[in-house]
Amino acid sequence: MATQANSVPHPTLVEVDPFMASIIAGILISQHMQPSNQDKQVFKIQCVDWTGAQIGNNDYSDDIRSIDLTKIHNLSGPIAIEGAEPGDCLVVDILDVTPFEKMPWGYTGIFELENGGGLFAKEFNSKAAKAIWDFKGIYATSRHIPGVRFAGVSHPGLIGTAPSAELLATWNERERGLIAQDPHAVPALAFAPEFKGAYIGQDLDPELLEKIKTEGARTIPGREHGGNCDIKNLSRGSRCYFPVFIPGANLSVGDLHFSQGDAGIITFSTSIIKGGVEKFALKQPIFLPSPVDPMYSAKLIFEGISVDYHGDGKQYNMDATVAYKQAALNAIAYLMKIGYTREQAYLLLSAAPVESHVGAIVDSPNACVTLALPLGIFEHDILPKEEGLEKIDFGQCAIRSDGVI
Amino acid sequence: MATQANSVPHPTLVEVDPFMASIIAGILISQHMQPSNQDKQVFKIQCVDWTGAQIGNNDYSDDIRSIDLTKIHNLSGPIAIEGAEPGDCLVVDILDVTPFEKMPWGYTGIFELENGGGLFAKEFNSKAAKAIWDFKGIYATSRHIPGVRFAGVSHPGLIGTAPSAELLATWNERERGLIAQDPHAVPALAFAPEFKGAYIGQDLDPELLEKIKTEGARTIPGREHGGNCDIKNLSRGSRCYFPVFIPGANLSVGDLHFSQGDAGIITFSTSIIKGGVEKFALKQPIFLPSPVDPMYSAKLIFEGISVDYHGDGKQYNMDATVAYKQAALNAIAYLMKIGYTREQAYLLLSAAPVESHVGAIVDSPNACVTLALPLGIFEHDILPKEEGLEKIDFGQCAIRSDGVI
Amino acid sequence: MATQANSVPHPTLVEVDPFMASIIAGILISQHMQPSNQDKQVFKIQCVDWTGAQIGNNDYSDDIRSIDLTKIHNLSGPIAIEGAEPGDCLVVDILDVTPFEKMPWGYTGIFELENGGGLFAKEFNSKAAKAIWDFKGIYATSRHIPGVRFAGVSHPGLIGTAPSAELLATWNERERGLIAQDPHAVPALAFAPEFKGAYIGQDLDPELLEKIKTEGARTIPGREHGGNCDIKNLSRGSRCYFPVFIPGANLSVGDLHFSQGDAGIITFSTSIIKGGVEKFALKQPIFLPSPVDPMYSAKLIFEGISVDYHGDGKQYNMDATVAYKQAALNAIAYLMKIGYTREQAYLLLSAAPVESHVGAIVDSPNACVTLALPLGIFEHDILPKEEGLEKIDFGQCAIRSDGVI
Amino acid sequence: MATQANSVPHPTLVEVDPFMASIIAGILISQHMQPSNQDKQVFKIQCVDWTGAQIGNNDYSDDIRSIDLTKIHNLSGPIAIEGAEPGDCLVVDILDVTPFEKMPWGYTGIFELENGGGLFAKEFNSKAAKAIWDFKGIYATSRHIPGVRFAGVSHPGLIGTAPSAELLATWNERERGLIAQDPHAVPALAFAPEFKGAYIGQDLDPELLEKIKTEGARTIPGREHGGNCDIKNLSRGSRCYFPVFIPGANLSVGDLHFSQGDAGIITFSTSIIKGGVEKFALKQPIFLPSPVDPMYSAKLIFEGISVDYHGDGKQYNMDATVAYKQAALNAIAYLMKIGYTREQAYLLLSAAPVESHVGAIVDSPNACVTLALPLGIFEHDILPKEEGLEKIDFGQCAIRSDGVI
C-alpha cells in the first residue's frame, strides 16, 4: 500500500519567500561553504526572482523604472559539494524548474536607458515597460501581450560554480580595463564590484567583508564558471558539466526563467568527475540539453547582417552583435505590422521560445545571424500572405504611470 | 498507363558542367535579364561549386592554397521573373538541392591566412587544409575525417535578388569606408569591386563593362538582397521572401552546400507578392524553414563569452563574434581530446549540422553564444565519461604537399 | 513589488490524499453534478492513483498479486461545466500533470493471469511483478530496472465526459454481448457492471443506487466519451475536444501516468463550443498534442506482423493486435539479449516513451505494426554491433515474495 | 581541380524503364543469385512502380479499375551479397530514395472491392478512384486533392531478403490455412501462389519453373523477411537489419513510395554481421530510422476504439484493426467537414505523412488507436474553431469514366 512512510519527498536545501529578497545575493563568495550535499541525492533549491521581488503583478512599469539594480542578482546558494576539488568537473542535473504554486506569474521588462539598459536601450531610448506573464501549467499568457500563448523553456538564467581567488582577480582586472575605456558610458560597459545593495547573508569576518567590497565581482555577466548566461537550452532535463575552481565547488543559482523574471524552485542532483577540467578541456561549462524542449516546427525566420541598416547604416566588420540586432529589429518591424506595439514586440522576443542562430561569420565584412519566431505561439495565422498582414489592435503592454514610452 | 507522354520533367533553365567554371560569376548584374520564367513553374538551375571547379577530389590541399579568389563566386543566373517590380516580394520555394550524379563529392577547406582567411585565420595562422566529403545518399562521410557520418542540410550558400543602382551604390560606399580603416589588413576587412577574374558571360556594351569594373560589388558577403548568407536552415523545402529591387528581380544562386563546397542542382518555383516589401516590412529576406531538416536530438553544447580566453584574455563588450569563437574553440579542444587534429575539428564544425545559438546579448559586458554538436553523427560515443574520453587516432585531413600545417 | 496580494494560486477543485482511496471511483455517473466551473478558469484536480493507493513503494509484488480490481478506477470528478449541453464540444486544456511533492514515485505492474491479466497474460502465464519508479524532476528511474532513465510523458490515462443514459445503454448492451461469447474467459473479454468495490461518494437516492448497480459501466475500457484510453500523446500541454452527452458534460479524470500508476495533480482550463459534435463530426474525442513531448530522435524499431510466430505460428487476417504483440515480443527478446529479464523488459515497454505505429493494414493477410524504443533512455549503448550485444546483469524487478515468476 | 577522373558516380546495378514492367517481378526466388555486390559499396537500384507501369498520369481511374493484380509486385533484384549466410544479419543502409527525373509524379489509388480491395473496401463498397501526385522537389501536390502540399517520406514499400525453402513452406502452409477458412471471401483473406502474371525474368530450368508455380509465395503481405511492410519510417537515411535465410541473402526491393505508387531509384550500401540472427534475436527485421523525416509538430489527432461505431456498432475484443479503422473514419469525417470528398480524404490519408499510434491494447475490451494528421500540410487552417469549420469546394479526385463512385 502507498503510505507516507515509503514516500520521502526530495529535501529542500534552500527555502525562500518569493515575496521577499533572499538573504544570499549579488556576490559570489569563493571560500565560504554552506549546506553540504551528498553525491546524487535529489534536492530542491528555492529562488526569489533575480531582483529580489522588486517587481509587482500590476499594470504599470514604475517598479521597473525605479528598480535598484545594486541588489541584483538575488541568488540561492552557494551549495558546497563534498569532495569537489579544483580541476574537477561538477556534473549538475537540472531535473526540474517550476514556479511557486502561490505565485503563478512572472514578468519581462524593458529597462530605462539610464537604469538597466538592455539590447536596444540606445536605439529605442528605452523607457520602462513590462509584461506580466500568467503561468497556466506549461504555458504562459499575458494580458499585456494578447494573442500569444507559449510553452515555457524553464531554465535557470544564472547558475555557476564559485571562482577561485585567481580567477576572480582576472575578472576584475579585465573588466576594469574595459570600464576604463569609457567610464561614463550609458549604459555602462561593465560593472565594478559594488558593495551597496549586496546581501552577504552571514556575519562575516571584517577582513573578508573588506575583500568582498573591493573584489566581489558583480553577477551581471556570465563568465568561465557559468553564471548569468541566460541560455534557454540549459533547461529542465539538462545535464551540465561545470569546472570546479575551489574546494566544494560552491554552486549558486537564481534568475529562474519561465517567461523571464520568475521566482521558482529548481531540482538538482550532482556528482563529481575527478580531474574533469583536463579530461574534457573545460574552459567554460558544457552541457547536454533536455529531451523536452518545446517543439514548434513551423517558424518564420528573420535575417540580419553586420550593417546597422535600422540605424545610421554603418558597416561593421563581422560583428555578430550588430547582425543579431538587425534580425531582431526585422522581427519587431514584422510584429508591428500585425498589430503589436514596438514595446510588446520587444518584450515578446525576450520571453517567447525564439531561437537565434549564428548563420555564418566568415564572409567579410558581414556576419549573418537569424532569429526564428515560432508560429505556433500565435493565436492568429501570422504567415506572409498575398493580401498582406491583418493588423489587430493588441493594446499596449504595461508602461509608466506618467504615460511616457 | 504510365507513359513518357504524360511525364514531363521539370525544365532545367541553366545547365553547367560541374568540372568547369560557369559563364556567369562573381558580380551581380542589376539590369540584365535572362531566361524569363512563369509564375509557379517548377524549374531547375545547375550550379558549379563556388570556386568554379578549382578544387579537386584528392589528398593534398595545394589547390586550396593557390586558389584564385578573384573568380568567386561562380553563380548561376540571374533569372528574371516576369512582372516583378521594385517593392514587390519575390517568393522562392527552394524545392530541392541535390548533387550531380556524376560528382558525388564536395569539400570543406581551410584557407591560407594570406589567401582567403576564415574565422580562425589569425588564431591558427592558417595553412591550407581540406576534407573531401563523399556523398552517400543523404549522408556525407570523409576519408579525411573518419568516424563521422552526417545527414547533409542541403542549401544554397548564396541566393539573392539583384540590387538597384542605388542599393549598389550604398554597398560600395559603406564597404569602401570600412576598407579605408585598414586598407592593408590581412585578411582584408572587405573587398572592393575587382574586375579580374570576373565572368560576365555576355558581350556587353563597353560602357556597361566600365560600370561593372568600378561598381560591381563582390559577392563575398551577404547583404540586404540575401546573397552569400550561408544560412543552413534555408535548406531544401524552405520558402524564402526576397525584396525586389529591380524589374524582374534577377535571382542568382550558387555556392550550394551539402557539406560546404559542392556543385549541384537546385529546384525552384517562384511567385510574386505585389508590394511585399511594405506589406512585410522587408529590409532583408525572411523565410520559412523546411520540415525536413535533420533531427539529431542528442547534443553536446559548448558555451562561449566575449572574452578571448583562448587567446590574449582580452575583454570585449557584448561581442557575439568573440563569444562564438570561444564556443567553437571549446568544441575544437574537446574534439582534439577524442583524437581529431585541430584541422579536422575545424573542418568538421564547418560542414556538420552544428547549430550555434545566440544565448544572450544583454548582460554587460559578456555576450553568450553556444555551439551544439550533434552526437548522432559520431560512430563512437563521445559523451563525457567518468573515466575521461577515449582518444582514437583519426589520422589527419588533406594538407599541403609540403607538409606545412 | 511582488506580494501575496497580487499572486493568486490556481484553485484546487478536488483534493485527495494520495495515500487513501478517494471518494469517487469506479463508475461514471451520468446525471449528477459537482463543483461547477467557470469558462477558462485555470483549476487543479488532485487524483489518487488508479487503484486507490493499493500499491506500495516496496520490493515485492504481493500487493499487485492480491489487488482488488473491483475498486478501480479511482477517479476525481465529475466536474460539471456550466452551460455545456448535449451536442456541444467540451474543450479541455490539459495544462499540466505533476506528481505530489510528498509522493515522488509511481509504479508499473504486471498482473496475474487470473487477477488483472494484461497484454501478455496468457503468453507469459503472468505472475505478479512490478517496478517502482522514482521521480527525479522530469525523469523517472527505477531500482528494479537499472540502466534506464527517461523523461516522462505525463498524461491522464483516463479522462472523459459522462455518457447519456442512451449511450450507457449501448455500452452495456454491446459489452454484455461480447461477454456472452465466452463468459468464463480468463482474462475476461469484458466487464459487466459491478457494484462491489465502487465508491459513489454521496448519499444517493436508493433508486439511483439500484440503477448504478445494474447499469453503471465499468471504467476499464476507453469508449466514445474518452475514458481509459491511455494515450500517451494526450499529455500535459494538449488540448482535447470532448463530445458532451449530458448537461454539464461531467468531466472525470484519473489514472495519471508519469511512469504508469501515479497519483498526482492535473491542471485544466475548459471552454465550450456550442454544437461542436456536429461541427467537428465528433464520434470520439479529438485532440491537439503538446509541443513539449520528449524528443528522443534516435530509436531502434521492431516490426511485427499478424502471425503469432512467437507462439503457435498461427496466421491471422489483418490483425493489428497480433502484429503489435509480435513487435513487442521482438523488443522484449532484444532487451533480454542486453541483460534485462523478461519481466523487466515487459515493464519497461509499459512505462518508457516507446511509440508504436500502425505501419500498414492493407496487404492481406498481414497487418504490420512497429514499436520504437528510444535509445536515449539507456545508460549503455544498445545499438546492434558487429560483435553482438553486451549482456549486463540488471538483477530483477520486484516479484512475489514466494519467488514465483 | 574537379575533374571527371576523380568523380566516380555510384554504380547502378539494376536499370529499368519506368514506363514498362520490369523483368523481375511478383515472386521471390530463394536460390538464384544476381549481380554480386561488395561490402559497403554504394550502389543504386532502379524500380518500376509496383504495378509495372499500369497506372497513368491522367484524370480517370479506369486503369485502377482494370488493373491486373497478378502482375504485382514489380520488384528489382534479387541482389546477392557475397558472404552472407543463413543466420547472418544483412545490414542495409537505405541511403536515398528519389523519383526518376523523367517521371516526376506518382499516384495513390482506391481499388475496386472486387479487384484489389483495401482497408475500407467493404465499408465503402469501393469503386476505383485515384489521385496523381506531382513531385516538386521534396514536396508532393495533387490536382485531384487541392489545398495540400506535403513533404514526402520516401521509402521502399517492399524490401526484403529471400526466404529459405523451409520458411517458404511455412508461409504457404499457414496462408493456405487461412484461405481455407473462407476461400471465396471478397476481398480474399490471403493469396496463394499464382503463376499467371509473374515475371521470372530468366530462362529457368523447367523443374524450377514448376516449383515456382506451386510454391512461389505472393509478395502481397510483409513477412519475417521484411517484404511489403509499407513502413513509412523505413525511409531514406534508415539502417535496416535483415535476417538472412539463404546464401547471398538475395535482397529484393520495389514499391517505392513518395506518395504511394512511385517508380524511382533507391541507393544502398550493405554489410554483413555474422550470426546476427542469434546476436540480435531477429525474428523479423529491426531498423534505425532516418534523422530526416518530416517534422510537422502541430497535429490534429483522432481516436478510435475496437467498436465499429461507424458501421453496425459491433463490439470487438481488443481489436486494434477495428480501432484503427474508427480513427481513420473519424479523420475522414472531419476532412469531409472542410470540403474534401470521402474519396479524396481516404486517398489523402494513404499518402500524406499521417502517423497512427497504438495507444493501448490492455483495457478490455477496447484497444485504442490514434491517427495524427499534420496541420502543416494544409494550405488552410483546419483547426477546430468556435464558429465551426469552413467548407471549401475541393472538387473531386480522379474517378471512373462512367462516373460511378
**Partner-chain contact D222 C298, CB within 8 Å:** no
Residue numbers of chain D with a pLDDT score lower than 50: 25-39
Summarised one tens digit per residue, pLDDT across range C79-98 is 888 899 999 999 999 999 99
**Partner-chain contact D294 B295, CB within 8 Å:** no
Residues of D in contact with A297 (CB under 8 A): 295-298, 376
Q: Which of D34, D99, D83, D38 lies closest to D265, judged by CA?
A: D99
Q: Spell out the domain ranges in chain A.
A: 12-288, 299-399
> Do the Cβ atoms of D26 and D71 come closer than 8 Å?
yes
Q: How far is B289 from chain C (nearest CA, A)?
A: 18
Q: How far is B291 from chain D (nearest CA, A)?
A: 5
What's the mean per-residue pLDDT of chain C? 91
The residue type at A337: K
**Partner-chain contact C7 A103, CB within 8 Å:** yes
Taking an 8 Å Cβ-Cβ cutoff, which residues of chain C contact chain B? Answer: 295-298, 376, 381
* Choice among A208-222, B304-318, C130-144, C202-216 with the minimum mean pLDDT: C202-216
Predicted-complex ipTM score: 0.93
Residues of A in contact with C295 (CB under 8 A): 291-293, 295
By CA distance, what is A20's nearest residue in C? C2
Q: How far is A162 from chain C (nearest CA, A)?
A: 25
Pairs across A and C, CB distance < 8 A: 147
By CA distance, what is C375's nearest residue in B? B298
Cell for D152? 514526402
Q: Which fold has domain C299-396?
A: Endonuclease I-creI (3.10.28)
Average the pLDDT over C356-378 and give the result. 93
- Give the best residue of C101, C259, C299 to mutate against chain A (max A CB count within 10 A): C101
Q: How far is B118 from chain D (nearest CA, A)?
A: 21
Q: How far is B134 from chain D (nearest CA, A)?
A: 10
> Looking at residue A33, what is its pLDDT?
36
Taking an 8 Å Cβ-Cβ cutoff, which residues of chain A contact chain D? Answer: 295-298, 376, 381
Q: Which chains touch C (3 or more CB pairs under 8 A)?
A: A, B, D
**Partner-chain contact D297 A376, CB within 8 Å:** yes
Cell for D266? 533507391
Please report where in the chains the cell 509496383 appears, as a residue. Answer: D50
Between A95 and C5, name the one with better pLDDT.
A95
Residues of C in contact with D229 (CB under 8 A): 303, 305, 359-360, 363, 368
Say which CATH architecture domain D4-288 belongs to.
Sandwich (2.60)
Q: How far is C263 from chain A (nearest CA, A)?
A: 10
Pairing assessment for the beta strands A264-273 and A355-360 based on DSSP bridges: unpaired
Q: Which of C352, C293, C345, C300 lies closest to C149, judged by CA?
A: C352
**Partner-chain contact B298 A318, CB within 8 Å:** no
Q: What percent of chain C has pLDDT over 70?
A: 94
Residues of B in contact with D101 (CB under 8 A): 9-10
- Give the best residue of A101, A153, A233 to mutate against chain C (max C CB count within 10 A): A101
Residues of C in contact with D91 (CB under 8 A): 384
* Choice among B381-385, C37-41, D52-56 with the minimum mean pLDDT: C37-41
Q: Find out whether the peptide bond into B78 is cis, omega within 30 degrees of 0.
A: yes
- Give the best residue of B363, B382, B387, B390 to mutate against chain A (max A CB count within 10 A): B363
pLDDT band at residue C281, thresholds of 50, 70 and 90?
very high
Say which of A280, A289, A368 has its CB closest to residue B222: A368
pLDDT band at residue C363, thresholds of 50, 70 and 90?
confident
> Looking at residue A16, what is its pLDDT?
87
**Partner-chain contact D138 B2, CB within 8 Å:** no
SS3 of A99, please?
coil
Q: Which chains touch A (3 or more CB pairs under 8 A)?
A: B, C, D
**Partner-chain contact D2 B96, CB within 8 Å:** no
d(CA B145, CA B379) in angstroms, rounded, equals 12
**Partner-chain contact D295 A296, CB within 8 Å:** no
pLDDT band at residue C26, thresholds of 50, 70 and 90?
very low
> Looking at residue A196, what is its pLDDT?
82
Q: How far is A2 from chain B (nearest CA, A)?
A: 36
- pTM here is 0.94
Q: How far is D305 from chain C (nearest CA, A)?
A: 7
> Looking at residue A13, what is its pLDDT?
84
d(CA A172, CA D262) in angstroms, rounded, equals 67
3-class secondary structure for chain B? Answer: CCCCCCCCCCCEEECCCCCCCCCCECECCCCCCCCCECCCCCEEEEECCCCCCCCCCCCECHHHHCCCHHHCCEEEEEECECCCCCCCEEEEEEEEEECCCCCCEEEEEECECCEECCCCHHHHCCCCEEEEEEEECCEEECCCCCCECEECCCEEEEEECCCCHHHHHHHHHHHHHHHHHCCCCCCCCCCCCCCCCCECCCCCCHHHHHHHHHHCCECCCEECCEECCCCCCCCCCCEEEEECCCCCCCEEEEEEECCCECCEEEEEEEEEECCHHHHCCCCCCEEECCCCCCCCCCEEEEEEECECCCCCCCECCCCHHHHHHHHHHHHHHHHHHCCCCHHHHHHHHHHCCCEEEEEECCCCCCCEEEEEEEHHHECCCCCCCCCCCCCCCCCCCEECCCCCC
Is residue C335 predicted with pLDDT exceeding 80? yes
What's the mean per-residue pLDDT of chain A? 91
Say which of B3, B98, B269 has its CB closest to residue D136: B269
Sign of CA dihedral B109, B115, B119, B125: positive
Say which of C230, C366, C384 has its CB closest to residue D221: C366
d(CA A81, CA A156) in angstroms, rounded, equals 19
Class of A12-288 per CATH? Answer: mainly beta
Cell for C117? 491479466
Is residue C227 predicted with pLDDT exceeding 90? yes
Cell for C364? 492481406
Is residue A8 predicted with pLDDT exceeding 70? yes
**Partner-chain contact C364 D189, CB within 8 Å:** yes
> Looking at residue D30, what is its pLDDT?
37
What's the mean per-residue pLDDT of chain B? 91
Say which of C297, C376, C381 has its CB closest to residue B295: C297
Q: How far is B203 from chain A (nearest CA, A)?
A: 30
Residues of A in contact with B326 (CB under 8 A): 283-284
> Looking at residue D22, what is its pLDDT?
62
**Partner-chain contact B228 A363, CB within 8 Å:** yes
Is residue B118 predicted with pLDDT exceeding 60? yes
**Partner-chain contact B2 D49, CB within 8 Å:** yes
Summarised one tens digit per residue, pLDDT across range A42-56 is 999 999 999 999 999
**Partner-chain contact A298 D381, CB within 8 Å:** no
Residues of C in contact with A3 (CB under 8 A): 19, 56-57
**Partner-chain contact D4 B102, CB within 8 Å:** yes
**Partner-chain contact B297 C376, CB within 8 Å:** yes
> Looking at residue D200, what is its pLDDT?
66
Summarised one tens digit per residue, pLDDT across range A19-45 is 887 655 444 433 333 444 444 789 999
By CA distance, what is D315's nearest residue in C? C174
Is residue C193 predicted with pLDDT exceeding 80? yes
Q: What percent of chain C has pLDDT over 90?
A: 76
Say which of A295, A297, A381 has its CB closest to residue D381: A381
Between A120 and D207, name the one with better pLDDT.
A120
**Partner-chain contact B233 A357, CB within 8 Å:** yes
**Partner-chain contact A295 D296, CB within 8 Å:** no
**Partner-chain contact D359 C232, CB within 8 Å:** yes
d(CA D103, CA B77) in angstroms, rounded, equals 26
Q: How far is A307 from chain D (nearest CA, A)?
A: 34
Pairs across B and D, CB distance < 8 A: 145
Phi, psi of C261 (to 5 degrees): -110, 95
> Looking at residue A369, what is its pLDDT?
95
- Give the best residue of A39, A303, A338 to mutate against chain B (max B CB count within 10 A): A303
Summarised one tens digit per residue, pLDDT across range A337-374 is 999 999 999 999 999 999 999 988 888 999 999 999 99
